[in-house]
Amino acid sequence: MNDSKKLPGKLEETDDGQILFSVPFPTALDSEALQSLKGMRPIIVKQPYAIDYIHSYGQDSPFFAGLASRTLLGCQDRESGYTYPNPRGHDMYTGEPTDWVQLPDRGKVHAFTVCHFGSEAFLPETPFVLVLVEFEEADTLLLSRLVGVDPLAASLDWIGMSIKARYLRNSKFKPTDIYFVPVE
Amino acid sequence: MRPVYAVSGGVSKFAKARPDKTFQAVVKEAYDYAIRDLGLDFRRFTEMVDGSVASYFSDHFTRQLMAGIMAQDYLGLCPKPGHRVEGGGATGGICFQEGWKNIASGLMDICVAYGFETMSHVNTWKGNEFIALASDVSLDYPVGGFYSGYYAMMVTRHMKEFGTTVEQLATVSVKNHLNAFHNPYAQKRNRYTIEDVRQAPMVAWPLTRLDICVMSDGAAAVILCSEEGLEELERASGRSLPRVRVTGIGRGTDAMRMADRPHQTLDDFLRLNALPHEREDQETLKYYEDLWDQGFRYPGIHSFRAGRMASKIAYEHAGLSNPGSDLDFVELHDAYTSSEIQTYEDMGLCRYGEGGPYATSGKAFMPGLEYGLDLVDSPVCPVNPSGGLIACGHPVGATGLMQAVFALWQLQGSVEQHFGDSTLQLEGARRGAIHSHAGTGTYVTVSILEAEE
């Protein structure tokens, strides 16, 4: 120990975070005052929370590379030909690795909704149309957005509508790099 | 496997927000109620209970990892065995069944299953975002992650496939809200009409705000025991406890991305998914042949294969041959009016495609209540006599256990004691089912409870 060095005797305080300069509290802590604390209303504070994740698309990466190249890739079981428009490294029935196949840009609306509200991240985009797309060449569906229909004129007649893929010019490497519009 | 009994339960008042207490203290409300209902004091019960299972869904909502042990600690259960389970909306149902396993396996004689959720820590739309993180964050969530949107797509397909109407959906909302009018634990106790439901703000076409459950803070607890545990509790309390046995449990699963679900042939459906009473009935077989001829494929996105699997296993376990007549009531996961209709079909209360007409028939309504609707049939198997998620609220980790508590009280005949109102007590209820459901139908549990003579 260096006796000449003065060690800090208290924590350094900063001006960040919650600051409430005067907290209502009994001036004398007698038993009655202590008991009264049970009737105190709760202190509720706001705590920000944000984080950036490093997210790998792993074996699904070619799907996103395909979208960035204006190409919809699906996954196919070599033996059965069972085809998923979603990326899937292994087939759920044979357990075998799937092969990448190119899917057509045209499909049909299998189901849809118009979101008038949404999760916070998507609220600015409301109303938007979600669709599940069916392809003649695939056995399952693809979740996507549909534009070019009036979201305020939703109709069950949209189901079965022929639609075609469009791609963002500047890929964001998200599944929204592809979206669909009605076939004229 | 040993017989398992549900002997007691407690539910905190479900509310939009419970800032007055931390989540541990809200769990304690439900836990203490369950102990008191056994006629025991805290210390005596703590000596007797062998362990626990904790249930909560979202680490995002709590912003606290290992919240389960914090509840275990607060309840004074340390150092007894315990663990947390998580399975989306079915977390509570899974928790109940894990408690069942602790008893059935002989590992414990008395086990408490408790669950909670505190969803008020973020605003409603951020909460929707947190819930939507329970969809594939690579492929589904970024497209517009919103559970009401996912369910609304199922609705449009159900409507297109079977002719289901928005008025049929709204009927479920009217029924469940009116049931909850007599349930003091419910978050929403309102009388609505079909018009009210349809004129409520549109959330995801065609689902309006009154087709969808609300977010809640709340907790629930259920005490399960073996025959030996039950006798021990009776000796300690000096009371004879009603015998309500959990006679069957079943679970099913399905693909996380509903787009990936299969579109099976009739042969596969009959081989893998049909219930025995469906396979044995020629008229039903013909009905399904016709459906497939018209292009119906199973499960697609209109049906919950997981719910069917859970039902099938639970019925087989409990020895039920026809759920529509063998069950006196069902508490099922009506996060959406549409999912109640879909679940009628999965649970075999009616055939696939007939959920809409079943909803308006009156068969799923409570006897003796005036709903202001023109119902053709008398009640057969009331569904969500408590008011369900739509009216009671849906604090996710507590919900499946809340259903267990309400089912237990029905079978004990103690609804009046707990609700201060006998309106929702079903006379002579002997057997009920509880159904807990996650995601877009990813995990589903069904458990059967029966009152012993």
Give me the CATH number covering residue B37. 3.40.47.10
pLDDT at B378 over 70: yes
Amino acid type, B119: M
Put simply, the chain B residues between 407 and 426 with a CB less than 8 A from any chain A CB are none
What digits encode the pLDDT tens for the residues B31-64?
999 999 999 999 999 999 999 999 999 999 988 9
Asked if residue A19 has pLDDT above 60, the reply is: yes
> For A157, which residue in chain B has the nearest alpha carbon?
B160
Vertex B19 angle, CA B15 and B23, to 5°? 80
ipTM: 0.95
CB contact under 8 A, A112 and B154: no
Number of neighbours of residue B373 by Cβ within 10 angstroms? 15
Closest-CA residue in chain A for B298? A140
DSSP H helical ranges for B273-377: 276-279, 282-293, 305-318, 323-326, 337-346, 355-361
Please judge whether A131 and B206 are an interchain contact, meaning their C-beta atoms are less than 8 angstroms apart: no
Contact B391, B402 (CB under 8 A): no
Name the more confident of A45 and B402: B402
B30 domain residue, yes or no: yes
Q: Which domain holds residue B22?
A: 5-122+217-244
Whether residue A8 is preceded by a cis peptide bond, meaning omega within 30 degrees of 0, is no
Say yes or no for a CB contact (<8 Å) between A159 and B143: no
Instruction: Identify the pLDDT of residue A1.
Output: 54
Q: Which residue of B has its CA nearest to A57?
A: B138
The closest alpha carbon to B14, from B116, B142, B95, belongs to B116
| CB-CB under 8 Å, A114 with B146 | no
For B149-170, the pLDDT digits (tens) are 999 999 999 999 999 999 999 9
Quick check: helix, strand or coil at residue B32? helix
Q: Which residues contact B446 (CB under 8 A, 6 or more apart)?
A: B93, B248, B249, B250, B251, B307, B310, B311, B313, B314, B315, B347, B433, B434, B435, B436
* Dihedral sign from CA coordinates of B439, B206, A85, B254: positive
- B153 SS3 class: helix
pLDDT at B293: 97
Residue B388 has what pLDDT?
98
Q: How far apart are CA B82 and CA B50, in angstroms?
A: 9
User: 3-state secondary structure string, B162-197?
Assistant: HCCCHHHHHHHHHHHHHHHCCCCCCCCCCCCCHHHH
Confidence of residue A24 (pLDDT cuts 50, 70, 90): confident
Nearest CA in chain A to B299: A140
CA-closest candidate to residue B178, choices B390, B367, B362, B387: B387
- Helices H, strands E: what count in chain B? 21, 13
State the CB neighbour count (10 A cutoff) for residue B379. 19
Contacts of B305 in chain A (CB under 8 A): none
The DSSP 8-state label assigned to residue B240 in this structure reads P
Please name the residues between 104 and 133 in chain A that touch chain B, using a CB distance below 8 Å. Answer: 110-123, 125, 128, 130-132
Closest alpha carbon within chain A to B262: A140
Tell me whether residue B54 is in a domain.
yes
Contacts of A131 in chain B (CB under 8 A): 153
* pLDDT over 90 percentage in chain B: 98
Return the percentage of chain B with pLDDT > 70, whole number: 100
Residues A40-57 have a mean pLDDT of 91
CA distances from B118 to B88, B178, B347 (A): 14, 25, 30
B117 to chain A, closest Cα gap in Å: 18
CA–CA dist B96, B101 (Å, integer): 9
Q: Is residue B345 part of a domain?
A: no
On whether residue B158 sits in a domain, the answer given is no
Looking at the 3D structure of chain B, how many domains does it have?
1
When CB atoms are compared, the residue of A112, A122, A123 closest to B156 is A112
Taking residue A170's Cβ as centre, other Cβ atoms within 10 Å add up to 7
The pLDDT, as a whole number, for residue A4 is: 65
DSSP labels, B275-301? -HHHHT-HHHHHHHHHHHHTT--EETT
Average of per-residue pLDDT across A88-100: 97
C-beta contacts of B364-368 below 8 A and 24+ residues apart = B364/B175, B365/B175, B366/B175, B366/B179, B366/B424, B366/B426, B367/B426, B368/B423
Mean pLDDT of chain A: 94
At B50, which helix (H) or strand (E)?
none
* Sequence-ordered list of residues with C-beta below 8 angstroms from that of A15, at least 6 positions apart, any chain: none
Instruction: Give the SS3 label for residue B450.
Output: strand
Q: How far is A7 from chain B (nearest CA, A)?
A: 35
CA distance B188 to B446: 25
Q: Which of B139, B146, B261 sits opposite A140 (nearest CB)?
A: B261
Nearest to B307 by CA among B256, B267, B250: B250
DSSP states of B257-273 as a string? SGGG--EE-HHHHHHHT
Instruction: Give the pLDDT of residue B245.
Output: 98
Per-residue pLDDT band at A132 (split at 50, 70, 90):
very high
Nearest CA in chain A to B300: A140
Structure letter (DSSP) for residue B12: P
Is the CB of B262 less than 8 angstroms away from the CB of A139? Answer: yes
User: For the sheet containing B51-55, what is the strand order?
Assistant: B84-85, B51-55, B110-118, B217-225, B5-11, B244-253, B443-451, B431-437, B329-331
Note whether residue B27 is domain-resident: yes
CB of A49 less than 8 A from some CB of B: yes
Whole-angstrom Cα distance, residue B224 to residue B434? 15
State mean pLDDT over B426-440.
97
Mean pLDDT (whole number) for B401-426 = 98
Strand partners, A83: A76
| pLDDT value of position B169 | 98
- Secondary-structure breakdown of chain A: helix, strand, coil percentages, each rounded to the nearest 5: 20, 25, 55
Alpha carbon dihedral B407, B372, B208, B330, in 10-degree steps, equals 20
Neighbours of B287 (CB within 10 A): 15
The pLDDT of residue B308: 98
Q: Do strands A83-84 and A72-76 pair parallel, antiparallel, or not at all (unpaired)?
A: antiparallel
- Residue B402 to residue B423: CA distance in whole angstroms: 19
End-to-end CA distance of chain B: 21
pLDDT for the residue numbered A52 = 94
Nearest to A119 among B139, B146, B258 (CB): B146
User: Alpha-carbon distance B186 to B195, whole Å?
Assistant: 22
Structural domain includes residue B67: yes
Asked if residue B140 is part of any domain, the answer here is no
What integer pLDDT is reported at residue B111 of this predicted model?
A: 98
Show the tokens assigned to B215: 């977010």
Residues of A in contact with B123 (CB under 8 A): 120
pLDDT in tens, B252-288: 999 999 999 999 999 999 999 999 999 999 999 999 9
Residue entry with tokens 């009905």: B287
Q: Does some domain include residue B77?
A: yes
For B357, phi then psi, to 5°, come to -60, -30
- The reported pLDDT for the residue numbered B13 is 86
Count the helix, strand and coil residues of chain B and give each as a percent rounded to the nearest 5.
45, 15, 40
Q: How far is A124 from chain B (nearest CA, A)?
A: 11
**Strand pairing partners for B202?**
B208
Q: Under a CB-based contact definition with an 8 Å cutoff, are residues B67 and B98 in contact?
A: no
| Interface membership of B272 toward A (CB under 8 Å) | no
